[in-house]
């Protein structure tokens, strides 16, 4: 039996990322976001959703640039800290020990400890209600060499991304490999 519930955001899981922003005259900041997703392949576009009351929202609207940094499971405490403390009065780089590294195309830095970094420039924004959707064009991507195989492709041997489970409010480390794109060749047995 199914139980019909009121509308909610129970899309389980979602990615959890650390987004860096920087104002014109202010130091960089980190915000943890779970309302995030790829929107288009060519050009590569990513959507991030931020509430107008966030410090990051203000910074983002000064430069219209941001970096999506994908954390490894051992960064979970920093992920949570950056999701409960505001950069308005705290330097989250100092608080977490994360290191800001110069980006190649944008003003906000990338986070050195995150194995993947996506440098983005906002091409559109849309007020949706509680959150504003920022559509970012991905301008450059960084892969830490430790997560690449001998052919330079990403492997998940040494990289465990984190998922967020809305509703449950848990963080989960990405687990067991159970298949791959197209492995069934369209057959059920």
Ligand X SMILES: Cc1cc2nc3c(=O)[nH]c(=O)nc-3n(C[C@H](O)[C@H](O)[C@H](O)COP(=O)(O)O)c2cc1C
75 binds ligand X (CB under 6 A): no
| One of 20, 22, 29, 69 touching ligand X (CB under 6 A) | 29
- 56 binds ligand X per the rule CB under 6 A: yes
How far out from the chain centre does Cα 154 lie? 17
Nearest to 44 by CA among 120, 149, 151: 120
Please list the residues that pair with 19 across neighbouring strands.
Answer: 31, 68
103 within 8 A of 21, measured Cβ to Cβ = no
**Smallest Cα–Cα separation from 59: which of 28, 33, 38, 90?**
28
Q: How far is the CB of 73 from ligand X (least distance, A)?
A: 14
Verify binding: residue 50, ligand X, rule CB under 6 A: yes
CB within 8 Å of 154: residues ≥ 6 apart: 116, 143, 147, 148
Q: Tokens for 46?
A: 């990513």
The residue whose two tokens read 């687990």 is 175
**Could you say which of 16, 67, 138, 147 contacts ligand X (CB under 6 A)?**
16
- Nearest approach in angstroms of CB 101 to ligand X is 19
Looking at the Cβ atoms of 34 and 138, the one nearer to ligand X is: 34
Of the pair 54, 142, the CB lying nearest ligand X is at 54
Per CB under 6 A, the list member of 80, 135, 165, 174 interacting with ligand X is 80
Q: Select from 67-75, 82-90, 136-144, 155-163 the region that touches ligand X (CB under 6 A).
A: 82-90
- Cα–Cα distance between 55 and 46 in angstroms, integer? 20
- Asked if 110 is part of the footprint of ligand X (rule: CB under 6 A), the reply reads no
Site membership for ligand X, residue 22 (CB under 6 A): no
Q: Which residues bind ligand X (CB under 6 A)?
A: 16, 29, 31-35, 49-51, 54-56, 80, 83-88, 131, 164
């Amino acid at each position: 039996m199914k139980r019909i519930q009121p509308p909610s955001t129970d899309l389980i899981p979602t990615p959890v990322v650390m987004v860096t922003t920087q104002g014109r005259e202010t130091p960089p900041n980190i915000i943890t976001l779970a309302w995030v997703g790829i929107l288009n392949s060519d050009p590569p576009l990513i959507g991030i959703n931020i509430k107008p009351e966030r410090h990051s929202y203000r910074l983002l609207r000064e430069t219209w640039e941001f970096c999506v940094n994908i954390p490894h499971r051992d960064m979970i405490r920093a992920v949570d800290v950056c999701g409960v403390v505001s950069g308005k009065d705290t330097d989250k780089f100092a608080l977490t020990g994360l290191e800001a590294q110069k980006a190649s195309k944008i003003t906000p830095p990338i986070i050195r400890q995150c194995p993947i970094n996506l440098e983005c420039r906002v091409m559109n924004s849309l007020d949706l209600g509680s959150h504003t959707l920022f559509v970012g064009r991905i301008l450059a991507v960084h892969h830490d060499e430790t997560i690449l195989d001998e052919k330079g492709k990403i492997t998940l041997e040494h990289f465990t991304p984190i998922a967020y489970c809305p509703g449950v409010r848990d963080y989960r480390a990405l687990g067991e490999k159970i298949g791959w794109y197209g492995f069934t060749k369209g057959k059920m047995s």
